[in-house]
Amino acid sequence: MAKVKTGFVLWFTGLSGSGKTTLSLEVERRLKKMGIPHVQRLDGDVVRKELTKDLGFSKEDRDENIRRVGFVAKLLSDNGIPTLCAFISPYKDVRHEVRQRCSNFVEIFVYCPLEILIERDPKGLYKKALSGEIKGFTGIDDPYEPPENPEITIDTSVESIDDGTEKIIFYITEKKLIEA
């Protein structure tokens, strides 16, 4: 039976379709299976529908979206709850702001080459962005600033979700955020 030594934030960042949600779901499942009952997962699609539905997709609104999520993540982690955040979060400066606010912040860069993401395109968003139907799509006509020094990088074009999950569990155990 594992236990949480301290609250922490696992911040999954990467382009749309890279595997952030899938990976965060598996990490959540694994932590619960290890006996950690209180894990909170915040996901971009869900948060946009509930917490930040008043925001659009301008740089300012995207930054505000991440600031609000960072605030919630801090509250949860400060109360000892492992918090998993899966957001494109395309801009370095606001990710850095969140890192500065949250104790035990672990940045996880979920990487996948753009060509593969365009092939995968599970939601059909790349097709719409490339045809001009969607404007300001991150990675196509809006920038994504990859992390310079993430604690963990997972390349989902070559690493399985299980391998990525193992990497994350190993890291948080080594850093004594959980005790196995």
Domains of the chain, by residue range, sit at: 3-179
Q: Where are the alpha helices (DSSP H) in the chain?
A: 20-33, 44-50, 59-78, 92-101, 114-120, 125-130, 161-174
- Residue 167: burial class (beta carbons within 10 Å; 0-12, 13-18, 19+): middle
pLDDT of residue 2: 75
pLDDT over 80 (residue 180):
no
Catalytic entry in 24, 89, 103, 160:
89
Instruction: Express each pLDDT in 129-155 by its tens digit.
Output: 999 999 999 999 999 999 999 999 999
- Judge whether 16 and 123 are in contact, CB under 8 Å: yes
Query: Which of 151, 139, 170 has the alpha carbon at shortest distance from 11?
Result: 151
pLDDT of residue 43: 92
Instruction: Express each pLDDT in 39-68 by its tens digit.
Output: 999 998 888 888 888 998 889 999 999 999
Any residues with CB less than 8 A from the CB of 31 and at least 6 apart, and which?
2, 39, 82, 169, 178
CATH of range 3-179; options 3.10.310.30, 3.90.550.10, 1.10.10.10, 3.40.50.300: 3.40.50.300
Q: Which of 33-37, 70-74, 105-109 is least confident?
A: 33-37
Clarify whether 89 is annotated catalytic: yes
